[in-house]
Structure 1
Amino acid sequence: MKVFTTVEEVVAAANTELGSSDWITIDQRRVDQFADATGDHQWIHVDVERAKTGPFGGTIAHGYLTLALIPWLGSQIFTLRTPGAKLNYGLNKVRFPAPVLVGAKIRLTVSMGEVAELPTGQQLTFQHVVEIDGQEKPACVAESVVLLLP
């Protein structure tokens, strides 16, 4: 895991790949818990029997579940221990090119993009790609923005 302790280390890592997480299996329990937490109980996610005859042959993870796993998976790859506050500033772009079937394994690969100096501190962009084991298309591609305040 890469640990950034100074802004200079962060700046030096701009436009580089930071690494990949471990593979995790997406199970029905996790999907059901996400459905309960969000109130999204669409049958394609939670009705195992009905989903067998659906377009994917089984239940699939919510796209937003896949997105929500990015911070946890990313914590296996890098951490920011720089002085000052770190703020999640948002997302520039998110896409879900392929569904994650329950039982599939996923992992995250993170690259740091641009590091921009702002009057309030540093603005970092990260490119996240959630891969599906054995699949050509990723489950999720997202660009996030983090602010490092002094």
Structure 2
Amino acid sequence: MFFGEKLLISENNFSSSDLLQYIGILVKESKLQQRRGSINTNYGWLKSRNPMEEVDVGLEKFNNTILKLTSESRAAIAVKLDRLADDSNMLPSDIMTVFAKLLDEEENIQLLERNVKIVKERGKICKTNPKYDARRSSLSFILK
């Protein structure tokens, strides 16, 4: 501590803006690779010297879904996309479709984990022979 100031603890959170920036970079790189592949001369590498222009990728529609995810889920999406992008030369449209599928997959996994957690908190309920308190059993006896 210097002069009474608290040291900032760096958290290892993968924010939604980090994921959106990473997807944007992947799409831009794939567009550059696609352009380089379309040039048939030996000087195609000179074309890549131009700075990467800003291209609207259309990630705004995924923003609400990304905000619902945990940082672990966002990081998992980034890692899976990174592996897929390194293995093959993907087109920008392919990256966006894979990203949408991974986003849905992680959202479903997160919903399942939450449902399992809720069921574990409630405990097991025997549906064939349910346990009722004394008042409940007397009411069911009267109604029969």
Q: Is the TM-score greater than 0.5?
A: no
Comparing both structures, which one devotes a greater share of its residues to strand?
Answer: 1
Q: What TM-score results when the alignment is normalised by the length of structure 2?
A: 0.30
